[in-house]
Amino acid sequence: MLRNLLLIVLFFPVAASGLTERCEIDGVHITIYAPAWTWQRQNVNVLVVAENESAAPRSIQIELLAPAGKEANFEFNNATTLDLEVAPGETVRKAITDIYAKDGVPRQVYDFTFAIRGGGETVQIAYPLRTVRGAAVTSATWALYLPVIVALVWSVLFALILPRLASRGAWRRAEPATLPSGDAAHE
């Protein structure tokens, strides 16, 4: 199994994908890091890095806009707008967190947009987010059942090995042969 997995990874590599978009607005370099897909019933987190290379402080607003008519397919537990105050020569890292892809809605590519505003300019960056079917077994279920499965496997192995270890003479060890010393060794 492990060998097959290794062969698949070596001979059929699949590129990792995600949004890594960089733009400049009002002398501030903005980089957005976001996943390209998510499971249903899971959260999406987006990292925004702002680097001010100008000589004056800058004020930047970054807003994540949901696709029109598809807002009900997601829950937004935190704010989807970031207001950044970036001092000269400073780098600010902020995140838009807990964008929750609901279960039971169509699995498809959702066309989100980042609207970046600053210094009277607006830049829009397209963010396609694909939702795929959620995990059949949740991590909470694994946390409950995995220790039970491991204990069961060890119990079966112990039950199979125990009779061999409990048999008569199973713990005896052969002692190394010793030769008598002195005159008795030459006879």
Residue 111 has pLDDT above 80, yes or no: yes
How far is 101 from 167, CA to CA, in rounded Å? 59
Q: Specify the CATH architecture of the domain 15-132.
A: Sandwich (2.60)
How far is 99 from 73, CA to CA, in rounded Å? 10
C-alpha pair distances (Å), 19 with each of 46, 114, 122, 128: 9, 11, 19, 8
How far is 143 from 147, CA to CA, in rounded Å? 7
- The 8-class DSSP code of residue 169 comes to T
**When comparing pLDDT for 137 and 68, which is higher?**
68
Domain ranges of the chain: 15-132, 136-166
- Among residues 42, 41, 46, 101, which one has the least CA distance to residue 71? 101
pLDDT mean over 120-128: 89
C-alpha pair distances (Å), 172 with each of 83, 90, 160: 75, 72, 20
pLDDT mean over 91-110: 83
- Average confidence score pLDDT of the chain: 80
Ordered DSSP codes for 130-155 = EEEPPPSS-HHHHHHHHHHHHHHHHH
Q: What pLDDT does residue 7 have?
A: 55
- Which two three-digit tokens encode residue 118? 């600053």
Residue 33 CB neighbours (<10 A): 15
Please name the amino acid found at residue 55. Answer: A
How far is 99 from 78, CA to CA, in rounded Å? 8
CA 110, 111, 116, 117 dihedral sign is negative
How far is 76 from 172, CA to CA, in rounded Å? 68
Residue 106 has pLDDT above 80, yes or no: no
